[in-house]
A and B are shown apart, each in its own frame.
Chain A
Amino acid sequence: MIRAKSPPGSRLPENVAAVAAPASLGIALLVFWEIVVRVRGIPPYVLPPPSLIGAALVRDWSLLSGSLWTTLSITLEALGLAVVFGLAFSVLFAQSRWMERAFFPYAVILQVTPIVAIAPLIIIWANNTLIALLFCAWLVAFFPILSNTTVGLNSADHNLLDLFALYGANRWQTLRYLRLPAALPYFLSGLRISGGLALIGAVVAEFVAGTGGTKSGLAFRILEAGNQLNIPRMFAALTLISLCGVAMFLCLTIVSHLALRHWHESAVQRES
């Protein structure tokens, strides 16, 4: 597990170590890679050295940045929709056992069917490629939020539920003041998983669609660069995809930490 304990209030040396350790390992690996490629004379179309990838990133930035934006916006929109639908359905499930029984199996079926297998169909059915990509990314991002939040909504302490009943709380009040806050940590851990999955969904669907044009995302740049044997650019696009994933994970971890810092064990700093 990565423990990204973040900024406010934490002691400095620990933060420095948390950044310095992986950073120095990364730099060491890059240097090693560069040296091996140069010493062994490996041609750039097999394995380009980091310096060449960096150069490609700079040279093709105008092209790649457009694609980065496309992929990123599909991912974020899909994640946003997954949050809206995931929350809506889990609240519905929490209100009615019957709804949960009826719908949940289908949510599971959607989840366990590989996205690569459904993507071609979706792309055929949707008349707009962007919408198809969005739908694929949404499909994979939806389930973790739905299932986690559903568990969370049912995880409220029984004595607290009794207490709410005792004070005559109605359904809405119980949801608003007890079930939803109790579900927050579950929702947030679902959100972190879904963030990564939305990106994967967006990339995989674009690979399947293989679309081009001005609105192409990073996956298409990889396909295109592969066809042109422009391997450094391929690596540059790959690097951007990874960075997207890492950035998203970090952002969601920070959001989660800020939301839970006062009360939840996962976010509380242990004093030693």
Chain B
Amino acid sequence: MLLERNDSPPSGALLRLRGVTKRYTSGTVALRDVDLVIGRHQFVSLLGSSGCGKSTLLKLISGLGQPSAGTLDWPAAPGGARRPELSFVFQEPTLLPWATALRNVALPLRLAGLDRGEIEERARRALGTVGLAGFERAYPRELSGGMKMRVSIARALVTRPSILLMDEPFAALDEIARTRLNDDLLALWQEQRFTIVFVTHSVFESVYLAQRIVVLAARPGRVAADLDVDEAYPRSPAYRTSAIYAKHCERVSAALESTMTAESAR
């Protein structure tokens, strides 16, 4: 499972959530009645103010948390129960500080018990794809914030996932590093065609990256709007300054805004 990407037909649902509710033991209802279908190879962005349950939703998808009610299944997988190969990128790079970049990237493969030669080769290749060839022996503290995030992405991609979950991955980076990582992530996605669920609270980032933006409302978290961004890839830097881009941003902002006013009205 770890080794082969599930290459079924390009269309169709990868993941289906039906009536998913998450109530923490503290009593907080983080999500209520979320219905969501995510297609294969889609780039979906989850957008919402902080505290609206975005991280909770990713945790449920990853299997690190269980829904209190509702179901979550993987229609393409046999029986629908089996989670396909999945990777997670956190807001922090979350690297092992005592291990070199190469060993950090190799970690998932070592945990899967692959043989040394293959681990080394695939980890090197993954570091290369994120533009860090030559940094194999660097320790995390010797790398910049952007480079650490690249190592984190390489570690996520080394298992050749069918779905990549990213929880505000670039929020802590400076503008320049963020822009470059956005472009590089899009290039990787176009080349490898995994599904991405990308959590962000930035309208601009989601409009630049995603094909589809799911806007969440808070307290309890629920789907407030589901918007398509029908723009072709690759999206050049010119897209960022185009009138179409501004229009999409306005539309998405309005949707986000209405979740807030609805909330303060209650």
Contact = CB atoms under 8 A, between A and B. Distances in A.
Interface stretch (B71-79, B105-113, B126-134, B187-195): B105-113
Interface string A57-90: 0000000000000000000000000000000000
Interface in A142-185: 157, 159-160, 162-169, 173, 177-178, 181, 184
Interface stretch (A22-30, A92-100, A262-270): A262-270
A168 B97 contact: no
B112 A167 contact: yes
B5 interface: no
Q: What's the dominant secondary structure at chain A's contact region?
A: helix
Given A177-B107, A177-B111, A263-B141, A166 B62 contact: yes
Interface in B108-145: 108, 110-112, 139-141
B88 A166 contact: yes
Query: Which 5 residue pairs of A and B lie closest in terms of their CB atoms, listed nearest first?
Result: A263-B97, A159-B94, A167-B111, A263-B98, A169-B111
Interface in A210-260: none
Interface residues of A, number: 20
Given A159-B92, A163-B94, A167-B112, A263 B62 contact: no
Contact of B64 (A160, A165, A184, A262): A165
Main secondary structure of the interface of B (DSSP, over half): loop
Given A164-B111, A177-B110, A181-B96, 4 more contacts: A163-B88, A166-B63, A177-B96, A264-B97
A165 B64 CA distance: 8
Contact of B90 (A159, A181, A268): A159
Contacts of A167: 107-108, 111-112, 159
A57 to B, nearest CB: 43
Contacts of B108: 167
B139 A262 contact: yes
Contacts of A263: 97-98, 139-141
Contacts of A166: 62-64, 86-88
Contacts of B140: 263
A167 to B, nearest CB: 5
Contacts of A184: 98
Contacts of A160: 94, 96
Contacts, number: 48
A159 B165 CA distance: 14
B214 to A, nearest CB: 22
Nearest to A169: B111
Interface string A165-208: 11111000100011001001000000000000000000000000
A110 B249 CA distance: 66
A115 to B, nearest CB: 35
A162 B64 contact: yes
A163 B95 CA distance: 10
A107 B141 CA distance: 37
Contacts of A181: 96, 98-99
A10 B110 CA distance: 35
Contacts of B62: 166
Contacts of A164: 111
Contacts of A162: 64, 88
Contacts of A264: 97-98
Nearest to B113: A173
B157 to A, nearest CB: 13
A182 to B, nearest CB: 8
Nearest to A260: B98
Contacts of B94: 157, 159-160, 163
B113 to A, nearest CB: 9
Contacts of A168: 111-112
Nearest to B141: A263
A157 B141 CA distance: 16
A168 B92 CA distance: 21
A167 B110 CA distance: 10
Interface in A40-56: none
Contacts of B88: 162-163, 166
A169 B96 CA distance: 15
Contacts of A177: 96, 107, 110-111
Could you say which of B87, B107, B112 has the most chain A C-beta atoms within 10 Å of its C-beta? Answer: B107
A177 B86 CA distance: 21
B50 to A, nearest CB: 17
Nearest to A265: B141
Interface centre among A164, A167, A262 (most CB of B within 10 A): A167
Nearest to A259: B98
